[in-house]
Chains A and B, each alone.
Chain A
């Protein structure tokens, strides 16, 4: 499927980011019921629904160039968003291989990969890249492998080392986090980096999730959806820049709600990396303004009920406390029972 060549839109400053009608239709609305409660909600990451975000292992959409430009801005400004501990080199190459092979197979008009033993050639027509390199030799690439491929694929990536019956966040490229810091979380175990999440620990959610992930097999990835809200289509909603964007939460009014409040959905895919035995945790973020969202039948109504009834600790954790009542009030117009 040929990718549209759209102009580069921005996720900061003037926030020119918009979704086309096609992007709105394929947006992964995450709520299947009128209320939300944690569950492990993991499913096998098999290809389904051609044209949807689930068709390919790594989803490239109309925002590709915009997102790659944004990523470059974040990395150039703050190198702490990228980290690979020395023992994660093999995992980084595993990730490069997995991403390149899938992109070349799924989007042959945009990417191609030729492998001749260790001599590889990678072409990215969207960014005008033609790169010969030696697989496994970082000096043959302009930068280290995870950063190299990370600058050419949408989504954040964390590489988790599996050891001592646990998973450790020992590498990653994270430029669009929903309020968490790779620089701080680096080196943490699975439960440690999930420590701030309210309510889920008592429910045993993380015990079950960890057990499941430790048993991931090569070729059998799994996925789940995660969601939160963001003011403006700001991809980089990191703790690092919170002092720059946090105040936006206090500026929501009944007039600007539809334009400024965005639903942020993460497609999280967990895959076993073959040679390193590490787990690749990829986080592909989709943003939609509420004005765009309510054009889809039923979405406004369902979102109203979810946000109205969301337990306070979860609402606070997702950062919506200051504008929640304004938001719920605005959404009630889409709910026939409100």
Chain B
């Protein structure tokens, strides 16, 4: 039986974040750092970050069903994706930029390296972005992405997912992740999702269907909250030196 190595170099909380080396996901093998990460005090460089400035100037583009510029509408099951961005004390993260990207309803990305024979949709670019409101709430209108095959191992398929990139208030809160849909039989055989070390943390990547978000005669509603690392620490202070006289 083949040994699958799971590395022990992890940035951040080991109960939540995947190790860099997770051999079942082949692309980690030659890209994962193998030397210990350097532990350093947090300084102004880490307690600041581009979030506030970039969020203030980036225009929203939150309707993926109609943002291809063709005048046409994307094909697929229309969905509303909404939720809150919180810090780990439960405070909402307002006015922060989210960028998302995803495959179309057939599971195909509009990308030159995606060449599997799923059909492209001329009315779907698969990218969008929005800002959270003052309560930390984001909202996208999109279509449910399809699952798609990849070459990681024989007959490998990624479960349907939407990629999320979030800034938050500091460098510490920067997060890129993937959101999955409930009741998908592909979850248990997906090495990317299973690189998350605990069942609880994996479950937190799965949206819930929410009928109160669903709009009649229009779109199904899904809810998914994201919790970011908060910037609580104050910049490192050196102990006061004894004055020598």
Are these two chains actual partners, yes or no? no
